[in-house]
Structure 1
Amino acid sequence: QSLFKIRTQLVEQFKCLEQQSESRLQLLQDLQEFFRRKAEIELEYSRSLEKLAERFSSKIRGSREHQFKKDQHLLSPVNCWYLVLTQTRRESRDHATLNDIFTNNVIVRLSQISEDVIRLFKKSKEIGLQMHEELLKVTNELYTVMKTYHMYHAESISAESKLKEAEKQEEKQFNKSGDVSVNLLRHEERPQRRSSVKKIEKMKEKRQAKYSENKLKCTKARNDYLLNLAATNAAVSKYYIHDVSDLIDCCDLGFHASLARTFRTYLSAEYNLETSRHEGLDIIENAVDNLDARSDKHTIMDMCNQVFCPPLKFEFQPHMGDEVCQVSAQQPVQTELLMRYHQLQSRLATLKIENEEVRKTLDATMQTLQDMLTVEDFDVSDAFQHSRSTESVKSAASETYMSKINIAKRRANQQETEMFYFTKFKEYLNGSNLITKLQAKHDLLKQTLGEGDIALASGSELWLWWCGDRAGSL
């Protein structure tokens, strides 16, 4: 029964190893198919990115911004746009590289591993069959030696039984001889009894010799059996404890190491793809950090300096030989100019106070707009929390800053603030323009009249004359 169990186990062991080999081949086949399809997707994605970048690149090659780029006058938003296109081309090349690595490296490695699995299993099976044959040979020898031992032991028992029977007959005959005196026997019975005793003694000697011979054979057979039993147990133990493990190692030879190198090739490709992507995104992020409205304003004005350059000052155009080109402060207009100067001074003081209040309101409104426009609503990391369920992710997305309700509310507040800002801005511009014009007149009158005349003209009579006859005339 034990021998039959061993034979069954040996057969099942090969089935198990064969199933393991087939399972690995199926795994490798699935991996090859997966990376083959992934390579196709990467190539399709690469081509799509290239087409996307080329579509917009061709659109802007003849544009004005492109000319500005050639002239090194690139506005910061346009620079971000160009860098996005550059990053798109970079990603296109990187995904094409990924396709090449998957096709010509990863898949090739997996194919080689499949060949190795088949070859190693075949060689391991050959060695395993040889080991099985040797093990079966040892167990068969043990079975043969055991049968020999059993046979000799049975013969020894039989010879011992016959010997004991002969001894009993001898003892029985001896007892009879003791009970009947030889002297009492008849003369014709003495030779017959003597012959019977000799036969018994001779039979005992033969059986004794046979028993000794069979006992010796049994002892030798038992010794051979015990020796073979120890050898067989040692061989079986070695096979199950060491040889089977070594046989599995032969099937596994290099499989895990080769597969690990293949996966590490895949990881290296993906990590380097991400590294390249992050490098490109860092460049874009730096450009985003350098988005500067003030710098762009100066750039535009420098590029179009002929348009934004202040025109020449208007020159006095004399009429028909009039050579006077300055404000005349002689009497009788001096008094009028003095009154006009003081009126301008008073008006300017009031306008400056009012316009300063408008400016403060404008600055506060601008700060409110800046707070609205610079709110940090760009973090979408919650959408990439893969540990959460799809439903919870969708729910979180609907409650974020970009939900429709929040967008509508935010846009309404922004537009309302913008309208208020432009109203105040228009008011501020009108006020500052008026101040500028009045200030120019004020300064020119001050320069014309001089400090001394202005001080003398501050009397009450002059002021009453001005208020009564010339009020409101500028």
Structure 2
Amino acid sequence: MSTPSRFKKDKEIVAEYESQVKEIRAQLVEQQKCLEQQTEMRVQLLQDLQDFFRKKAEIETEYSRNLEKLAERFMAKTRSTKDHQQYKKDQNLLSPVNCWYLLLNQVRRESKDHATLSDIYLNNVIMRFMQISEDSTRMFKKSKEIAFQLHEDLMKVLNELYTVMKTYHMYHAESISAESKLKEAEKQEEKQIGRSGDPVFHIRLEERHQRRSSVKKIEKMKEKRQAKYSENKLKSIKARNEYLLTLEATNASVFKYYIHDLSDLIDCCDLGYHASLNRALRTYLSAEYNLETSRHEGLDIIENAVDNLEPRSDKQRFMEMYPAAFCPPMKFEFQSHMGDEVCQVSAQQPVQAELMLRYQQLQSRLATLKIENEEVKKTTEATLQTIQDMVTIEDYDVSECFQHSRSTESVKSTVSETYLSKPSIAKRRANQQETEQFYFMKLREYLEGSNLITKLQAKHDLLQRTLGEGHRAEYMTTRPPNVPPKPQKHRKSRPRSQYNAKLFNGDLETFVKDSGQIIPLIVESCIRFINLYGLQHQGIFRVSGSQVEVNDIKNSFERGENPLADDQSNHDINSVAGVLKLYFRGLENPLFPKERFNDLISCIRIDNLYERALHIRKLLLTLPRSVLIVMRYLFAFLNHLSQYSDENMMDPYNLAICFGPTLMPVPEIQDQVSCQAHVNEIVKTIIIHHETIFPDAKELDGPVYEKCMAGDDYCDSPYSEHGTLEEVDQDAGTEPHTSEDGMTRFQTL
């Protein structure tokens, strides 16, 4: 390589090195800027947190003051009342007044708690953020000093590499130059030797002597150049070795700085930041959680007082508070006139016959009045129960209003769906007021009747005592004869000894085939009993019955008997319902076969309920005829039962919760929690849309469930008329009784 080319190459190498070093310098500067920027962002974040909690503390303080003013305002109104004096004396208050005092105490408690919360924010949480900010700034300064030292050390290493590289290039260039001169000397020597080999007889002696002298000079020059080359070659090798060693060390230093030292520097800047911030925010969480705990403790006290809102005990306390007003007065004594000493009814002749006739008339009149008044009492009690059901409906859960999401819905849009804004509130209020009016009318009628009975009974008893035992007539208060419901014709069940299939814990298909009972007697009989006596029974299938009675009924069916065949409701309705559930729960193969479980669950994906019902119908039509008939019978009954949900509190969803695990158990390999919710939804769909899902009697020959199982005299329900599936769905969320229906039901009761 020529000298100009070599110089050009050296310049390119140096330029490349300087460019790389320049890039590293820029990176180091940028790193420092990033660390500084991160510290500034942290300080700003901590400042924002301080401002936030300072403002929140102000709000909590203001809120605390307002709560205290609110409590004081209403407490001042009650201090002079008799209730307050009673509260100070023995704290034996009427339950509503007790709730009121507890509400005021809860407001005071919340006032103190929020004042405490404000103090914690100001004197604890904010101070922590200030300390973290100071620590972060100090840590950055310390880390910055270390970073400068590391940068200087790194630049020294890079400068050392540059020096060694230049030395290597210099010695290598001198080695190449010495080698070139040596080769030139060797060429001159070869040329001179070639001349010495020519014939000497033509050369003069003097010229021959000159040639020998020239050869010697060339040899000496070659030796010098050889020595110089060897020296430069050795220096070049040593310089190259030193360069390679320094290069390796430099790369290792740079790698260590970027991979390890930088991470350590960032850790130095972060030292204690996250842990301190964790402690500060946990102080906030602890304060808030303790605020909630204190609040819940106070609310639990109020909830306990609400649970103890008891009219009977309040009535007793109220009367005890005003004994002079409610204490019965002294009996009126007979005030004789002008010395008349007789103070009892005289039964001597001739008034004895008149008294006897009057006694008999009173006896007859009392019998009639008591029967009439007993009927009025029953109607009054039934009406009162209806009112209590209306006013105790559990419509107070507003948890949906507090379900937070990332959407931008306003609170107002959520609250608009609450109880007070529902269109049915006006109808409910009107229905309640009309029922109350009917109740007070009947109550007045009952009280007037009972007052009359009391007066007549007193006269009757006095006459009875006067006339003596010999003239006492037999008297019994009888109830009006009940018209027995028209019994439904039952098919006779043959004894269990005539067939071998197991009833409980057996197979439904096998039992139907062996017994000849298209609908197992236990299913038909239990459903008929509930139809007659339990459609309006609150909590049917949800409330457990007597285990002893359940076992007795079960054993009777096992023996081939029908313990529910008579038309008397001498069995507990919950026990009968328990027997029906026990039968289906114990089937060897569930009513919904396990092999159809996944197919049925997949129907949940169909959002359109009508299409879902059609898909379920398609799946169920593949089941055996005997199973399908029992399904149709059962779900028609459950649909009928759900139509009385306002009385029995068992709408299709609640019934599905009770029957889902029984009819369609979740396989063990499936997720029990998530699958059970899907099972309940499937069963609910079948209950609501049973007419769409199951074929009618024309398509599937077999017994069909009848809503009226006791004849026309029994069917006085507003649901007795068969309606379409759409009508049932539309009326599902409305009040079931119009005013006229309600009056008819009360009069029937």
TM-score (norm 1): 0.93
CA distance in 1 between counterparts of 2:134 and 2:416 reads: 52
**4+ runs deviating over 6 angstroms:** none
Query: Residue 454 and residue 43 in structure 1: after superposition, are their counterparts in 2 closer, same or farther (change >3 A)?
Result: closer
SS in 2 for 1:62: coil
Residue 253 of structure 1 is aligned with which of 263, 271, 274? 271
**What are the residue-to-residue correspondences of 1:38-77 with 2, within 5 Å?**
38-72=56-90, 73-77=92-96
Provide the residue aligned with 2:399 in structure 1: 381
> How much has 1:136 moved relative to structure 2?
0.2
Whole-angstrom CA distance in 2 between matches of 1:24 and 1:390: 29
* 8 A contact 1:124–1:247 mirrored in 2: yes
Q: Which residue of 2 aligns with 1:413?
A: 431
- 1:172 corresponds to: 191
How many Å separate the matches in 2 of 1:84 and 1:232?
76
In structure 2, the residue matched to 1:442 is 460
User: How far is 1:249 from its partner?
Assistant: 0.7
Distance in 1, matches of 2:408 and 2:134, equals 41
Q: Distance in 2 between matches of 1:112 and 1:454?
A: 100
> Quick one: which amino acid aligns to residue 99 of structure 1?
S
Correspondence 1:19 to 2:41:
no
Deviation at 1:314, TM superposition (A): 0.4
Question: Deviations for 1:112-154, whole angstroms, at most 9, x for unmatched residues?
Answer: 1111111010010000000000000010010011001101111
Cα distance in 1 for partners of 2:297, 2:129 equals 31
Q: 1:185 pairs with 200, 203, 208, which one?
A: 203
From 99, 102, 109, give the equivalent of 2:128.
Answer: 109
Q: 1:144 aligns with which of 150, 163, 167?
A: 163
- For residue 235 of structure 1, the aligned residue among 249, 253, 256 is 253
Structure 2 counterpart of 1:87: 106
Please report how far the alpha carbon of residue 87 of structure 1 lies from its aligned counterpart in structure 2 after TM superposition: 0.8
SS at match of 1:310: coil
> Which range moves more in the overlay, 19-28 or 142-151?
19-28
Q: Deviations over 1:288-312 (max 9, x none)?
A: 0001110000001111111101000
Distance 2:320 2:215 in 1: 151
Q: Please state whether the residue corresponding to 2:126 is helix, strand or coil.
A: helix
Query: Are the counterparts in 2 of residues 338 and 454 from structure 1 also a CA contact under 8 Å?
Result: no
Q: Which moved more, 1:199-208 or 1:426-435?
A: 199-208
Note if contact 1:50-1:88 (Cα within 8 Å) is conserved in structure 2.
Answer: yes
1:100 equivalenced with 2:119 (yes/no): yes
Contact 1:358–1:424 (8 Å) recurs in 2? yes
Distance 1:207 1:33 in 2: 84
Cα shift at 1:214 = 1.2
Instruction: Please tell me the residue identity of whatever aligns with 2:162.
Output: Y
In structure 2, the partner of 1:330 is 348
Which aligned pairs between 1:214-229 and structure 2 lie closer than 5 A? 214-229=232-247
Query: What CA distance in whole angstroms lies between the structure 2 residues aligned with 1:266 and 1:44?
Result: 19
Partner amino acid, structure 1, of 2:222: K
Tell me by how many angstroms 1:181 deviates: 2.9
Shift of 1:396: 5.5
Give the Cα separation in 2 of the matches to 1:201 and 1:76: 132
Q: Distance in 2 between matches of 1:399 and 1:104?
A: 42
Any conservation in 2 of the 1:382–1:393 contact (CA below 8 Å)? no
Q: What secondary structure is seen at the aligned counterpart in 2 of 1:188? A: helix
Q: CA deviation at 1:399?
A: 4.0
Question: Following TM superposition, by how much is the alpha carbon of 1:329 offset from its aligned partner in structure 2, in angstroms?
Answer: 0.4
CA distance in 1, matches of 2:249, 2:409: 67
Tell me which amino acid in the other structure corresponds to 2:111.
S
Does 2:368 align with 1:350?
A: yes
Call closer, same or farther: CA 1:107–1:290 in 2, change over 3 Å: same
User: What is the Cα deviation at residue 104 of structure 1?
Assistant: 0.8
**Which residue of structure 2 aligns with residue 302 of structure 1?**
320
Deviation at 1:390, TM superposition (A): 5.2
Aligned AA (1:98): L
Q: Is the 8 A contact 2:64 2:110 kept in 1?
A: yes
Offset of 1:401 from its aligned partner? 2.6
- Deviation string, structure 1 residues 150-202 (Cα, Å, up to 9, x no partner): 01111111111111111111111112212x13444211202211221122112
Structure 2 gap ranges (5+): 1-18, 474-749
Q: Where does 1:273-288 land on structure 2 (aligned, <5 Å)?
A: 273-288=291-306
- CA 297–454 in structure 1, closer or farther in 2 if over 3 Å, else same: closer
Counterpart contact for 1:159–1:214, Cα < 8 Å: yes
Over the matched positions of the two proteins, sequence identity in percent amounts to 76
TM-score (norm 2): 0.59
Q: Secondary structure at the match of 1:387?
A: coil
* Alignment counterpart, residue 138 of structure 2, candidates 119, 125, 140: 119
SS in 1 for 2:205: coil
Distance 1:396 1:14 in 2: 51
Give the AA of the match of 1:9.
Q
Larger Rg: 1
Equivalent position SS for 1:377 = coil
| Alignment CA distance shift 1:46-1:412 (3 Å) | same
The one-letter code matched in structure 2 to 1:414 is Q
Q: 1:306 to 1:251 in 2, by over 3 A?
A: same
Please state whether the residue corresponding to 2:419 is helix, strand or coil: coil
2:398–2:418 contact (8 Å) kept in structure 1: no
Q: Cα 1:111–1:399, aligned 2, differ >3 Å: closer, same or farther?
A: closer
The alignment yields a C-alpha RMSD, in angstroms, of: 1.4
Q: Are residue 159 (structure 1) and residue 178 (structure 2) matched?
A: yes
**CA distance in 2: counterparts of 1:426 and 1:249, whole angstroms:** 85
Structure 1 unmatched ranges of 5 or more: 456-474
Deviations 1:410-439 (A, max 9, x none): 111111111111111111111000000000
Question: Structure 1 residues 296-305 or 199-208, which shifts more?
Answer: 199-208
The Cα shift of 1:33 comes to 1.0
Shift of 1:448: 0.4
Counterpart Cα distance in 1 of 2:66 and 2:25: 62
